[in-house]
Amino acid sequence: MQPPDTTLQLYHRHFKIPIVRYLNTVTDFLDPWDERAYQFAVQQYLEETQDNGLVGMVRQEKDENYVYLDAAVRYALVMT
Protein backbone atom coordinates (compact mmCIF):
# COMPACT_ATOMS: atom_id res chain seq x y z
CA MET A 1 0.00 0.00 0.00
CA GLN A 2 1.35 3.41 -1.00
CA PRO A 3 1.24 6.20 1.61
CA PRO A 4 -0.99 9.21 0.84
CA ASP A 5 0.61 12.24 -0.82
CA THR A 6 0.97 15.38 1.28
CA THR A 7 0.65 18.78 -0.34
CA LEU A 8 1.22 22.13 1.32
CA GLN A 9 -1.22 24.94 0.72
CA LEU A 10 0.23 28.41 1.27
CA TYR A 11 -1.64 31.46 2.52
CA HIS A 12 -0.38 34.96 3.19
CA ARG A 13 -1.76 36.13 6.51
CA HIS A 14 -1.62 39.73 7.66
CA PHE A 15 -1.39 40.71 11.32
CA LYS A 16 -1.72 44.13 12.95
CA ILE A 17 -0.31 43.89 16.48
CA PRO A 18 -0.06 46.72 19.00
CA ILE A 19 3.66 47.41 19.36
CA VAL A 20 3.63 46.98 23.16
CA ARG A 21 2.00 43.54 22.86
CA TYR A 22 4.49 42.53 20.16
CA LEU A 23 7.48 43.59 22.27
CA ASN A 24 6.06 41.73 25.29
CA THR A 25 5.70 38.59 23.15
CA VAL A 26 9.31 38.59 21.92
CA THR A 27 11.10 39.47 25.17
CA ASP A 28 13.37 36.41 24.91
CA PHE A 29 14.91 37.64 21.64
CA LEU A 30 18.00 39.85 21.72
CA ASP A 31 16.77 41.60 18.56
CA PRO A 32 12.97 41.99 18.47
CA TRP A 33 13.26 43.09 14.82
CA ASP A 34 14.77 39.81 13.62
CA GLU A 35 12.75 37.46 11.38
CA ARG A 36 12.91 34.72 14.02
CA ALA A 37 11.12 37.07 16.44
CA TYR A 38 8.45 37.79 13.79
CA GLN A 39 7.98 34.06 13.21
CA PHE A 40 7.70 33.45 16.95
CA ALA A 41 5.03 36.17 17.33
CA VAL A 42 2.98 34.68 14.47
CA GLN A 43 3.39 31.15 15.85
CA GLN A 44 2.17 32.34 19.26
CA TYR A 45 -0.92 33.86 17.63
CA LEU A 46 -1.61 30.66 15.68
CA GLU A 47 -1.34 28.60 18.87
CA GLU A 48 -3.68 30.99 20.74
CA THR A 49 -6.29 30.59 18.01
CA GLN A 50 -5.72 26.81 17.70
CA ASP A 51 -4.60 27.23 14.09
CA ASN A 52 -2.33 24.37 12.94
CA GLY A 53 -0.49 26.35 10.26
CA LEU A 54 3.29 26.23 9.84
CA VAL A 55 4.96 29.65 9.77
CA GLY A 56 7.38 30.41 6.95
CA MET A 57 8.86 33.73 5.93
CA VAL A 58 7.54 36.83 7.67
CA ARG A 59 7.95 40.44 6.60
CA GLN A 60 7.48 43.34 8.96
CA GLU A 61 6.58 46.99 8.85
CA LYS A 62 5.90 49.19 11.84
CA ASP A 63 4.78 52.61 12.88
CA GLU A 64 4.69 54.22 16.31
CA ASN A 65 1.62 52.18 17.38
CA TYR A 66 1.58 48.87 15.50
CA VAL A 67 3.71 46.12 14.03
CA TYR A 68 2.37 44.79 10.71
CA LEU A 69 3.41 41.24 9.89
CA ASP A 70 2.90 39.58 6.50
CA ALA A 71 3.41 35.86 7.08
CA ALA A 72 3.52 32.87 4.76
CA VAL A 73 1.54 30.19 6.59
CA ARG A 74 1.49 26.64 5.21
CA TYR A 75 -1.15 23.99 5.79
CA ALA A 76 -0.69 20.30 5.05
CA LEU A 77 -3.30 18.65 2.84
CA VAL A 78 -3.27 14.88 2.68
CA MET A 79 -4.39 13.53 -0.69
CA THR A 80 -5.69 9.97 -0.72
Give the whole-angstrom CA distance, residue 44 versus residue 42.
5
CB 42 within 8 A of CB 13: yes
Q: For the segment 39-74, what is each residue's pLDDT rounded down to a tens digit?
A: 999 999 999 999 999 999 999 999 999 999 999 999
Largest CA distance in the chain: 57
Where do the DSSP E strands lie in 1-80? 5-18, 54-62, 66-79
pTM of this structure = 0.84
Which pLDDT band holds residue 3 (cuts at 50, 70, 90)?
low
Which pLDDT band holds residue 79 (cuts at 50, 70, 90)?
low
CB 24 within 8 A of CB 32: no
Boundaries of every domain in the chain: 5-79
pLDDT at 50: 95
